[in-house]
Amino acid sequence: MITVSFLEFFMAMTLRLFSAAARVEADMPPLPGASSMKRRSTAARIIASILAGTMLTASVQPSLSCTSLVFKAADGTGIYARTMEWGASDLKSEMVLIPRKTTQSSVLGTDKTGISWSNVYGYVGINPAGYPYATDGMNETGLTVGALFYPGFAEYQQPEAAEQSKTLSSMDVVNYLLGNFKTVEEVRQALPKLRVVKNADLEKAFGSELPLHHIVTDSTGASIVVEYTKGVLTIFDNKVGAMTNSPSYDWHLLNLRNYANLKPLGAPANRNINGVSLAPFGAGSGMHGLPGDFTPPSRFLRAVAFVATMEPVKDAAAGVAAASSMLNNFDIPQGLVREGASAEDYHLGFTQWSVIGDTRNKVYYYWTMYDRRMRSIDLTKLNFDAAKPSGFPLDRIRVQDIENRSADFGK
């Protein structure tokens, strides 16, 4: 049995990452208008926030604009897809493999440890900066779990000493679900028996909360959204196949009613008023009014529109291609989204990586901002009885993989 002490690992990573703070300071570009002292403190805060897995600080408010969508192919294949937006620093994410029977314990803060478990299922996941918290992943049964930012609304349950052995840090939700469950129904039944709390020590270390909600999808394509709001667990059936960020999922569903007039069919070309043509100028008039900005409500609306109007796809290959096309619409280029105190003092929000999960065939696809070539992990070919966890950087080298076909024209 493999044993991973997250508390010991946390201390080791703390020393490792803080020793790298000087290198981060040297490598990071200066913030607009920032002094060297401010730059050093920013580097330290980013390192501290990396330890928390989502990197939100009081003075560096990152733009997290993740978008996810779910749909089924005609043959029943469930397709899950999402983007990961982050702009405060380089996530340096890794793809990690966690074997079956890996023993993990949830660190709750204040020298307390919550629930411990031995993985029933092996899984792969993407972490931030080498830290042992998966932000997204798939297990060997095809179950996928994604953590998306949920600021201003996430409020976890309160710790209770009598239930410490059944208490899970909010940062461990992805790991716990991937390691223990096969279906969304199993997750639905298990979560009410757990107490999910924030790790106050992590939040105190860098002065901000770590608000998350989760999307869970299984091999049948069934999908749920998991939120903790005002200390209450709510599980929504993800019937519209979309999830973004704040506000709550039910608010987004209600907001859909403001756009009930939208349709994929364009306006007729023969409409007129007293001979004055009302013919649309081009294609797409049926969706005129669909928001194009990158706020969570607007992205949710676009995700629902794409899923609801997509032409049926016959199988996994066509589903992956369709998901890739839809995700491209949510890519945020560097510079478009800026958050901060002023036009001179800001940070960026941009898409660092995206994933697609073929939940039926257990294949996990991804690409990054540095190399948009799609890569895949076939979970049916992995050794989940390995002696220890393993991993690798998402990119071998950070260069776009471009095929030169000039020679195909011949001489």
pLDDT digits (tens, 9 = 90+) for 315-365: 999 999 999 999 999 999 999 999 888 888 888 889 999 999 999 999 999
- What is residue 87's predicted lDDT score, i.e. its pLDDT? 77
Domain harbouring 167, CATH code: 3.60.60.10
DSSP string, 76-141: S-EEEEEEEE--SS----EEEEE-TTEEEEEEEETTEEEEEEE-SS-EEEEESTT-S--SEEEETT
pLDDT band for position 131 (50/70/90)? confident
Q: Which residue has better confidence, 119 or 1? A: 119
For residue 325, which phi and psi values (nearest 5 degrees)? -60, -40
What number of helices (H) and strands (E) belong to the chain?
9, 23
CA distance 31 to 280: 45
238-242 average pLDDT score? 97
- What is residue 411's predicted lDDT score, i.e. its pLDDT? 80
pLDDT band for position 132 (50/70/90)? confident
pLDDT band for position 133 (50/70/90)? confident
Q: What's the pTM value of the predicted model, to 2 decimals? A: 0.85
- Sequence-ordered list of residues with C-beta below 8 angstroms from that of 142, at least 6 positions apart, any chain: 78, 218, 219, 357, 359, 360, 361, 362, 379
Taking the alpha carbons at both ends of the chain, their separation in whole angstroms is: 61
Domain-located, residue 216: yes
On the question of pLDDT at 17 being above 90, the answer is: no
- What is residue 63's predicted lDDT score, i.e. its pLDDT? 56
93-122 average pLDDT score? 96
On the question of pLDDT at 33 being above 90, the answer is: no
- Sequence-ordered list of residues with C-beta below 8 angstroms from that of 272, at least 6 positions apart, any chain: 278, 279
The share of the chain scoring above pLDDT 90, in percent, equals: 74
Q: Is the peptide bond before 247 cis (omega within 30 degrees of 0)?
A: yes
Domain-located, residue 274: no
Domain-located, residue 275: no
CA distance 31 to 24: 13
pLDDT band for position 16 (50/70/90)? very low
* Residue 138, both tokens: 């798939």
Domain of 42, in residue numbers: 2-256+317-396
260: closest CA among 293, 295, 312, 304? 304
- What is residue 345's predicted lDDT score, i.e. its pLDDT? 87
Domain-located, residue 39: yes
Mean pLDDT of the residues in the chain: 86
On the question of pLDDT at 55 being above 60, the answer is: no
pLDDT digits (tens, 9 = 90+) for 174-217: 999 999 999 999 999 999 999 999 998 877 764 567 899 999 99
Domain-located, residue 401: no
Element (DSSP H or E) covering residue 243:
strand 242-243
- What is residue 145's predicted lDDT score, i.e. its pLDDT? 98
Query: Could you give the number of structural domains in the chain?
Result: 1
Domain-located, residue 142: yes
- What is residue 207's predicted lDDT score, i.e. its pLDDT? 56
Element (DSSP H or E) covering residue 353:
strand 351-358
On the question of pLDDT at 228 being above 70, the answer is: yes
Q: What are the strands of the beta sheet with 112-118, ordered from one edge?
A: 2-3, 102-109, 112-118
- The dihedral sign for the CA sequence 43, 47, 48, 49: positive
Domain-located, residue 120: yes
Domain-located, residue 301: no
